[in-house]
Amino acid sequence: MRTQLARAQARIEELQATAETDFLLDIPNRRGFERELARAIAFIKRYHASGALVVLDVDRLKPINDAFGHAAGDEVLKAIVAAVSRQTRASDVFGRLGGDEFAVLLWNLSEIDARAKAAALEETIDHLSFIFRGSRVTAGASAGVAILGPHSDIERALDEADRAMYVRKAQRRHEPRI
């Protein structure tokens, strides 16, 4: 009976991990990321810590999918995950909110440092380049930042970072591409 209970518990844990992980990219999905964000906000409130939420929206992914197929789009997403993962610390949390939208939970950064990190992540993604069917393709990303503090909650933080990301996306439409 104990062996069966242990197996059942292990299976439950395995299914829970699967339910919170993006199957393509092997990072937290929206559910997993929001769970980590809730924990972070609780920690920040209790211990007066600091943090920031960066929402990244991939630019020009739909045209890549339309022109070269979803396998090409998946390759772009995987490269973005690898690039962002190299730019974040082990204590930070990087997840996929859905489609071409990602979020990064950053610990112990000032607002200035958080905005600089968001700009660095944009630049890193902007410099990724791909060759599909002989054509050079770039994607890019727009980032929005929300500073996490004692009055933060998940919905407000995600909404604030999302709104900031859309403002940034609009700004980038009017910037010349490199």
Q: What domains appear along the chain, each with residue ranges and CATH number?
A: 27-173 (3.30.70.270)
- DSSP states of 52-98: EEEEEEESSHHHHHHHH-HHHHHHHHHHHHHHHHHHS-TTSEEEEEE
Tell me the pLDDT tens digit for each residue of 21-33.
999 999 999 999 9
Look up the pTM and report it: 0.89
> For residue 136, what are the contacts with CB-CB under 8 A and spacing of at least 6?
129, 130
Tell me the pLDDT tens digit for each residue of 107-162.
999 999 999 999 999 999 999 999 999 999 999 999 999 999 999 999 999 999 99
135 vs 9: CA distance, rounded Å: 50
